[in-house]
């Protein structure tokens, strides 16, 4: 693996999940792998879990880490090829990313969508520009459309808590929120779950359909009650509309998960990627109750990131694999 930006970059998700679980048992088993290697974490947007877990993961592997909040601390970046830079942008991504690639062996990039122009966000110009010009492996720390480190941690959490022989029923349910949020977490969760041994049901109010590129294989319904019936895991998340791009279509009354609704499930575990708006998306009682996995899930961000960095450290630099990753095909137009 040279890039980790989508589930399609991963050759075998089962092996990656198992590796994360092995690292959880033995965090320092590969503490020399990253010796004299540097991870650069570049943030265009805020973060708590992604920043700290990826940093800690790199330290466990013996790497050094450089973190930059480029939106606040860096020069204003230009992303358009051929731009005449006589405006507010000070530095072109071609130059900035190429410089970063000389200082770092792996780069992590966080770049949220603008949520105003769907086509622009879907193009992932920021992430792909870094990948194209830095010349080193890149990990997505959440991009305009996907958040694969979160989804890997989610799958690790489901895998380690599921003890039955049958496939679990996993429900992704839309929740109310006061702000328009990206679709990256639900897109990514759906993309990963559709490749995992689970039955995925997505439920949301009309108008909140996700990009079907990521939901193929999921059962989708507007009926939350029907979706929750016999669920083993309930993943709670808000997202803004994809069809009326970036908009909040309603106040979402009736969509907050409650203890009464949970009674319809199969004693389901509750998941949320955090940060969470308490008593808007989810009640205190559910978040702090015995069925909540949210802290375990956030803890697993560390092992997910460590498994990914370990793979990049071990396999990058090998002769070009026969099959190129999905990301390489996109950025180089293969
Ligand atoms: N879940 C998640 O990505 O958290 P942060 O935004 O705090 O990194």
Mean pLDDT for each 10-residue chunk of the chain (334 residues)?
96 97 98 97 98 98 98 95 96 98 98 98 97 97 98 98 97 97 98 98 98 98 97 98 96 92 96 96 95 98 98 71 54 50
Where in the chain do CATH 3.40.50.1370 domains reside? 3-146+301-331, 149-297
For residue 149, the ligand 1 atom closest to its alpha carbon is 3
Answer whether 48 contacts ligand 1 (Cβ < 6 A).
yes
At 328 the pLDDT is 58
Nearest to 255 by CA among 218, 217, 228, 294: 228
Q: How many angstroms does the Cα of residue 142 sit away from the middle of ligand 1?
A: 8
Q: Which fold has domain 149-297?
A: Rossmann fold (3.40.50)
Q: Do residues 32 and 281 touch, judged by C-beta distance below 8 A?
A: no
Answer whether 47 contacts ligand 1 (Cβ < 6 A).
yes
Q: CA of 161: how far to CAs of 178, 202, 276, in Å?
A: 32, 21, 22
Answer whether 52 contacts ligand 1 (Cβ < 6 A).
no
Burial class (CB within 10 angstroms; exposed 0-12, middle 13-18, buried 19+) of 67: middle
At 250 the pLDDT is 86
At 251 the pLDDT is 83
* CATH code matching the domain that covers 3-146+301-331, chosen among 3.65.10.10, 3.50.50.60, 3.40.50.800, 3.40.50.1370: 3.40.50.1370
The model's pTM: 0.94
- The SS3 of residue 326 is helix
Q: Do residues 257 and 207 touch, judged by C-beta distance below 8 A?
A: no
| Cα 309 to Cα 39: distance, rounded to the nearest angstrom | 9
Answer whether 274 contacts ligand 1 (Cβ < 6 A).
yes
């Amino acid at each position: 693996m040279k890039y980790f930006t989508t589930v399609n970059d991963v050759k075998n998700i089962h092996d990656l999940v198992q590796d994360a679980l092995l690292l959880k048992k033995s965090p320092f088993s590969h503490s020399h792998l990253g010796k004299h290697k540097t991870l650069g974490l570049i943030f265009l947007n805020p973060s708590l879990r992604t920043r700290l877990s990826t940093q800690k993961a790199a330290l466990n592997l013996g790497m050094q880490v450089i973190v930059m909040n480029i939106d606040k601390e860096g020069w204003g970046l230009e992303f358009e090829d051929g731009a005449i830079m006589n405006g507010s942008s000070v530095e072109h991504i071609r130059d900035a990313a190429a410089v970063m690639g000389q200082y770092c062996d792996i780069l992590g990039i966080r770049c949220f969508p603008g949520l105003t122009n769907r086509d622009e966000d879907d193009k992932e110009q920021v992430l792909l520009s870094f990948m194209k010009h830095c010349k080193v492996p890149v990990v997505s720390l959440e991009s305009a459309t996907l958040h694969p480190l979160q989804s890997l941690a989610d799958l690790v959490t489901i895998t380690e808590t599921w003890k039955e022989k049958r496939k679990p029923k996993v429900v992704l349910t839309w929740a109310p929120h006061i702000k328009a949020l990206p679709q990256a977490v639900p897109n990514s969760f759906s993309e990963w779950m559709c490749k995992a041994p689970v039955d995925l049901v997505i439920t949301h109010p009309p108008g909140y359909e996700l990009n079907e590129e990521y939901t193929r294989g999921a059962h989708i319904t507007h009926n939350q009650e029907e979706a929750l019936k016999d669920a083993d895991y309930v993943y709670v998340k808000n997202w803004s509309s994809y069809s009326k791009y970036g908009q909040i279509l309603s106040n979402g009354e009736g969509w907050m998960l409650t203890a009464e609704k949970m009674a319809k499930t199969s004693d389901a575990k509750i998941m949320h990627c955090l940060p969470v708006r308490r008593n808007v998306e989810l009640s205190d009682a559910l978040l702090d109750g015995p069925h909540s996995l949210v802290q375990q899930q956030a803890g697993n961000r560390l092992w997910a990131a460590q498994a990914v960095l370990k793979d990049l450290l071990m396999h990058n630099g090998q002769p070009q694999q026969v099959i190129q990753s999905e990301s390489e095909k996109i950025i180089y137009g293969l």
